[in-house]
Structure 1
């Protein structure tokens, strides 16, 4: 992937302003974390849940008001989601409107989305600054992987062996103890 040419501060500001204007023009607002995506759509306050048609599938989404020709949001998702873990609700807003809040559970919890649907304008995901999350927020497998990476980084900074290197050294040491008759002076760990 080729690096983008460096933008001047003025070009960067113009690009951010254009991106913001494109996002503001959408009929919905959206936010994301690395694991999920939330969409908010403002609708008239007299609507009830039965007046809405929200269809969340693994690779597509549609949100519409019954009787209106054009949906508010419809299209192909850029990445797959877990429909069974995705939801939508209708709640009252402070003014005379209601909010349709759609929660999408990403399958790939290591990927930022550039847009909600593939036909929408993209955002520059390289500019996303994630909230500091707690290790306790992560699922077991991801947490273990992050903790191992953090441990290995600390070990490397101190000039000490990584967890994998330590494991190999422990196996060799145990083997040496079981076979004192063998010469391990030229043994290399790779």
Structure 2
């Protein structure tokens, strides 16, 4: 979303936003469906599935996975997937395999496990990462501290999208309100709270 679109989006009524989101989702789904592969992600990883002709073996493929690059091609043919990755990956934890001799499964472990990818390669159409609904079961898999951090990030992202204060600002405001109650004799009229 460009800044211009964001401004217009902020001025929309909830009904208009809903309609706009639906149209955008259809456009996004069509763009993603047109890709020669499918992909899904969690905060930790990205998994790409590429259909290939039945009977394809490992030796028939050229697969290159680097920290910020990827290439998957049938030998002697144009690449099915090639380009600069959206973000860096952990090469040691990233793998590929052939399933049933008819699809290539690629597992990319994200270097930064706190961000959503907009696409697999930067040349592909982007998805709106603000609309991603993480699977709750995945949140349940995280340890307490990590889960709390992810939930805080998700809350802050939602607040930011609505131009509301994030959790840190709300906490400061809350502390300030308590302090004011404890010290009614002080003049707080000149105090400015940073957003």
Aligned to 1:13: 22
| TM-score computed with the length of structure 1 as normaliser | 0.68
Aligned to 1:165: none
Superposed CA RMSD: 2.6
Work out the CA distance in 1 between the residues paired with 2:57 and 2:36.
19
Work out the CA distance in 1 between the residues paired with 2:24 and 2:87.
25
Work out the CA distance in 2 between the residues paired with 1:111 and 1:103.
16
User: Equivalent of 1:22, from 17, 31, 35?
Assistant: 31
Query: Which stretch of structure 1 is more off in the superposition, 42-51 or 105-114?
Result: 42-51
Say whether 1:44 aligns with 2:44: no
Show structure 1 runs of 4+ deviating over 2 A: 133-138, 143-150
* C-alpha deviation, 1:113, in angstroms: 0.2
Indicate the structure with greater helix content: 2
SS of the residue 2:103 aligns to: strand
Work out the CA distance in 2 between the residues paired with 1:41 and 1:148.
33
Work out the CA distance in 2 between the residues paired with 1:53 and 1:86.
16
User: Equivalent of 1:103, from 103, 107, 124?
Assistant: 107
Work out the CA distance in 2 between the residues paired with 1:26 and 1:147.
35
Say whether 1:127 aligns with 2:131: yes
Aligned to 1:82: 90
Aligned to 1:53: 62
* C-alpha deviation, 1:13, in angstroms: 1.4
**Contact kept in structure 1, 2:118 and 2:127, CA below 8 Å:** yes
Q: How many residues align?
A: 145
Work out the CA distance in 2 between the residues paired with 1:149 and 1:23.
26
SS of the residue 1:46 aligns to: coil
| Deviation sequence 1:41-81 (CA, Å, 0-9, x none) | 0000121111011110000100000011x100000012100
**Contact kept in structure 1, 2:90 and 2:109, CA below 8 Å:** yes
SS of the residue 2:102 aligns to: strand
Aligned to 1:65: 74
> 1:46 and 1:147, CA in 2 relative to 1: closer, same or farther beyond 3 A?
closer
Say whether 1:144 aligns with 2:152: no
* Structure 2, gaps ≥5 residues long: 152-166, 176-195
Work out the CA distance in 1 between the residues paired with 2:125 and 2:58.
29
